[in-house]
Structures are given as structure tokens and as C-alpha cells.
Structure 1
Amino acid sequence: MMNATPTRRRILDAALELFNRNGYAATSQIEIAAAVGIRQGNLTYHFPTKLDLVAALRDEGRAVLGRRDAMSATGDVCTDYVHHVTSSMELVWRYRFLLRDRAQFGDVDAFRGAPPELAADLTRLTGLIERFGADGLLRRDLRVDLSVLARSLWVVSRYWLDHLDEFEQLGEIEWTHQARGIEHHRAVLDPCLTADGRRRLDAAFEQIAQHRLAS
């Protein structure tokens, strides 16, 4: 990904804010340039079209996701799970227009179909659920299809953010909004966990909640 000059960075930040708030189709290059305080010609020097902005923001999101996934596991599945769920929420929220407005990007191969990052995120979540089973944190008296459980959890977390965007029309999310989404997430997961699994997951979520509320 190209290194961002100060002007390029300001353009990307303004475009991301406007695309998220108003939608891709409803945002013009003139509006983006005005938000940055530059002429439209200066904008198109860096990004000739709006789709070039979309591509740059998509690549930026992929880079963030790549850095997250490259981090070593802690060895504690509950800690790793909490980090995955909360960081995925934050990443999807930050770049939410990329998913919400995909139909507005036109018939362009680069933006057709589901982003591969979504499939990779689901695969990573499935791996964490499998680790729950390997660590004896899933109830043995339940016949649970781990892939179905992982997909259900992924759907709950993913579309909770759509709820915040479309129904509550939030501009930014705070920890309290994430915590509410986690309540829905755990309504699906907790019945499948052992008592020890629930206790350990409670502790992991409580640890991150204290950190977020203190920051």
C-alpha cells in the first residue's frame, strides 16, 4: 500500500467519514475536497475517481486486518477469542461503508462478491471455537456442529453493527455499544459452554471492559 502523504491521509480520512455517514453514492468528490479544504483538482491528482478512494480504503482495512491476524496467540483461548470478537467489531465499524454500500460500486470485478476478508474472519472464528472444544470448554452433553455455531456467532456480531448503523444511526461506537452486542453474541455461545468455560470467558470480557472503560 502506498505510503500516505499528509494530504493523501487527510483525503482518506475525510472520504471515510463521509462515505460512512452519507453513503458512497451520496458523496461527491467536491464534498470530499471541501471537507479537506483543497481544490477538487488536488483531490483527483491523488485519487482520480471515487472508486480509487474505495480501493485505497479497502487496502488500508486489509492491512489493519493483516497486522491483527499476524499477532501471536496468547495461549489462552478465551483471551484470544475476546480480542478477535472485539477487534472484528471495531474494524467492520470503521470501514462499514465497504460492506453496506457494495452494490453502489458498480459492476467492477475488484468489488464484486463477498470480500475475502469476511471468509477469513469466519475461518479464524471457527478455529477459536474448535479450540474451545479442544480445551474442554464446550459441553459434551450437547451435539454441537462447531461450524454452524461459529457461523451463527459471526452473523450475530456482524449484523449487530448494521443495527447500530441503520436503526440507532450512531456516528461512533463506544465500549457500551460493543458490550450490548456481546450480550447477543453470548446468548448464542453461553448455552454451549461448560461452567468453567463461562467463568473464564466472563473474566476475559471483564478484563477488556475494565481496560476500555479506563482508557
Structure 2
Amino acid sequence: MKARSHTADRILEASRKAFNEKGYAATSVTEIAASLDMSQGNLTYHFPAKRDLAIALEDDAILSMREYRLTKKNGSLADNYIDHLLFGMQLTWRYRFLLRDRIHYAGAPVGQRPDSELTADYEGLVDLLKRIDEEGLFLRDNEQNIDVLARSLWIVSRYWVDYLRELEGLEQVSWTDQKRGIQHHLAVLFPYLKISARREFEAALGQRQI
């Protein structure tokens, strides 16, 4: 990806905040420029159309996922699992307008982009569950299909913001609301785990600032 100017970065950060708070459709280029005390002409010099802002932010989200996948460290299972979970929830929070508004600027879901990284993210979760199985941390009397469990866990994390809007009626979702999604993810996983594994996961989560 070509390096951006400081001005372009400022425009994208203001756009991300506005799209998250008001929605893509309800946000105008004029108000983004005004929030930066910038002329609309200066903004459109860097990003000719509002859609270009959304696509650039989407590119940033995908790049973050790729960089995380390529640079993540192989530590303890509990640390790796919690890191994977928190990264996904934090990224979903940072770019939450993408999940809600993509139909307005791109039509097809982001997962249909060939470079979307969503498949790699899901496969990373499957690999972590396989490690849990290999290390004998699943309860013996609670056999499960790893693919089914992975889909259930991924759906909780991926669509938590949608649940908050659709069923709880939240127009503005806070990070506190998003953190509840982390607990719901673990509530799906923990009944399958031995008590010792749950404690390790809880300790790993407790060591992180969320």
C-alpha cells in the first residue's frame, strides 16, 4: 500500500469516527471537512468521493488483520487464544461502520473481497481449537465438532455489534457494550473446557487491559 500523507491520515481518522457515530449514509464529506477545519476541495483532492474514504478505511482494516496474522507470536495456548479474541473484538469495534454500512458503498459483503482476511481469521480460530483438543483440554464427556464450535464462536464475535443494535436497540455502541461480547464468546467456549483450562484463559484475559 502506498504511503499516505499526514493530511490523508487525518481525513481518514475523522471519517472513521464520523462513519462509526452517524453511519456512512448520514455523513457528508462537507461535515468531515468542517470537523478538520479544512476546505472540501482540500479533502476531495486526497479522496475524490466519499466512497473512496470508506474503501481506504476498509483497506486499513484488512491490512491490520494481515499484519496481525503474519506477526503474531506463538506463546501459550491461553495467551494466543485471548490475543486472537481481543484483536478481533477491538478491530470490529474500531471499524464497526464497515459491518453495518458496506451495502451503501460497496454492495457485496466484505468477506467476498478476495483479500478480506476473514477466512484466515476463521481458520486461525479453528487452529486454536485444534490446539485445545491436542492438549487434552476439552471435557471428555462433552464431545464437539470443532468446525461447528468454531463457527458458533466466530459468529458471536463477528456479529455482536449487530445484536446490540437489532435486539437491544442501541444506536450508539460503547466499548463497554463491546466488552460484553468478549464474555459471551467465552460463555460459549468455557462449558467445553476443563476447569484448569478455564482458569488459564481467565488469567490470560485478566492480564490484558481491555
Q: State TM-score, norm by structure 1.
A: 0.86
- What per-residue deviation string (whole Å, max 9, x for no partner) do you get for residues 59-111 of structure 1? 1112211221122433311100000101110101111111110111155x7x6
In structure 2, how many angstroms separate the alpha carbons of the residues matched to 1:64 and 1:134? Answer: 29
Residue 151 and residue 112 in structure 1: after superposition, are their counterparts in 2 closer, same or farther (change >3 A)?
Answer: closer
Residue 21 of structure 2 contacts residue 172 of structure 2 at CA under 8 Å; is this kept in 1? Answer: no
Residue 122 of structure 1 contacts residue 154 of structure 1 at CA under 8 Å; is this kept in 2? Answer: yes
Specify the code of the residue in structure 2 equivalent to 1:9. D
Pairwise CA distance, 1:5: 1.5
In structure 1, how many angstroms separate the alpha carbons of the residues matched to 2:45 and 2:103? Answer: 26
Residue 66 of structure 2 contacts residue 117 of structure 2 at CA under 8 Å; is this kept in 1? Answer: no
- 2:203 maps to which residue? 203
Pairwise CA distance, 1:113: 5.5
- What per-residue deviation string (whole Å, max 9, x for no partner) do you get for residues 20-74 of structure 1? 1111111111111111111111111100111111121111112211221122433
Unaligned runs of 5+ in 2: none
- 2:170 maps to which residue? 168
- What per-residue deviation string (whole Å, max 9, x for no partner) do you get for residues 141-163 of structure 1? 22200011011011112222334
Q: State TM-score, norm by structure 2.
A: 0.88
Residue 16 of structure 2 contacts residue 57 of structure 2 at CA under 8 Å; is this kept in 1? Answer: yes
Aligned pairs for 1:21-170 (under 5 A) are 21-107=21-107, 114-115=112-113, 116-164=116-164, 167-170=169-172
Residue 136 and residue 165 in structure 1: after superposition, are their counterparts in 2 closer, same or farther (change >3 A)?
Answer: same
In structure 2, how many angstroms separate the alpha carbons of the residues matched to 1:191 and 1:122? Answer: 21
In structure 2, how many angstroms separate the alpha carbons of the residues matched to 1:80 and 1:190? Answer: 16
Residue 164 of structure 1 contacts residue 170 of structure 1 at CA under 8 Å; is this kept in 2? Answer: no
Specify the code of the residue in structure 1 equivalent to 2:71. M
The RMSD of aligned alpha carbons is: 2.1
Aligned-pair identity in percent equals 45
Residue 138 of structure 1 contacts residue 192 of structure 1 at CA under 8 Å; is this kept in 2? Answer: yes
Specify the code of the residue in structure 2 equivalent to 1:168. L
Residue 86 of structure 1 contacts residue 178 of structure 1 at CA under 8 Å; is this kept in 2? Answer: no
Specify the code of the residue in structure 1 equivalent to 2:170. E
Specify the code of the residue in structure 2 equivalent to 1:152. S
Pairwise CA distance, 1:172: 4.4
Residue 20 of structure 2 contacts residue 95 of structure 2 at CA under 8 Å; is this kept in 1? Answer: yes
Residue 77 of structure 1 contacts residue 131 of structure 1 at CA under 8 Å; is this kept in 2? Answer: yes
Residue 5 and residue 171 in structure 1: after superposition, are their counterparts in 2 closer, same or farther (change >3 A)?
Answer: farther
